Amino acid sequence: MWRDATQTVFGEGPEGAEVIFVGEQPCDQEDLAGKPFVGPAGKMFDAILNDAGVDRQKIYVTNAVKHFKFEPRGKRRIRSKPNAGEVQACRWWLDREIGLTKPDIFVALGATAAQSLLGKAVPVTKMRGEVIERDDGLRVFITIHPSFILRIREAADKEAERRRFLQDMKQVKRLMAV
Ligand code: URA
């Protein structure tokens, strides 16, 4: 993956952040900018965090996989999902970020992040909103990936999903405070 990607996209946020949000992998714009969550999913994520009263400057944001995986299609680069081996290969990176940041809580944004943080496949839609405690005591809040909201076409459904995700982020804010 690193061969085709423009660069490694490291996590971003202050040392000692109380919470680490973990996405899947950088996409097209993140690959070019070298920063996580700056493209369309990132903009939606920022807006919802803002509505929930969570300051992005105070959180650490990263991805389970640190390089953009894609299929070229003409001039476009179409994102393809990292497999379990690729997630596993990037685990040491996430572990180092955890060791340096020492957060109180993690947020797994979607199935790839949940798999990376918990070491097993997790049914995200079923377990959404739950906090799972790892063997080392770290708490992992499970929710969807914000790009899921972007893919919904019907306006009312999109708005309903946005509201649900906002509720999830408000729950994260409450968890940060305990
Ligand atoms: N999707 C992700 O999971 N991570 C990013 O950084 C951007 C989009």
- Output the DSSP codes for 48-99: HHHHHT--GGGSEEEESS-S--EEEETTEEEE----HHHHHHTHHHHHHHHH
- Distance from the alpha carbon of residue 111 to the mean position of ligand 1, in angstroms: 13
* 124 pLDDT more than 80: yes
- Residue ranges per structural domain of the chain: 19-176
Buried b (16+ CB within 10 A) or exposed e, 141-158: bbbbbbbbbeeeeeeeee
Section 123-144 average pLDDT? 96
Q: Enter the pTM of the model.
A: 0.96
Question: Is 26 a pocket residue for ligand 1 (Cβ < 6 Å)?
Answer: yes
Report the atom number in ligand 1 closest to the C-alpha of 9: 6
Q: What is the pLDDT of residues 39-93, one digit of tens each?
A: 999 999 999 999 999 999 999 999 999 999 999 999 999 999 999 999 999 999 9
Q: Please state which of the four CATH numbers 3.30.200.20, 3.40.50.1820, 3.40.470.10, 3.40.50.2000 is assigned to the domain occupying 19-176.
A: 3.40.470.10
- Name the residue of 70, 81, 147 whose CB sits within 8 Å of the most ligand 1 atoms, as the mutation to test its pocket: 147
Report the atom number in ligand 1 closest to the C-alpha of 109: 3
- Name the residue of 1, 9, 30, 90 whose CB sits within 8 Å of the most ligand 1 atoms, as the mutation to test its pocket: 30
Q: What is the mean pLDDT of the chain?
A: 95
* 105 pLDDT more than 70: yes
* 5 pLDDT more than 80: yes
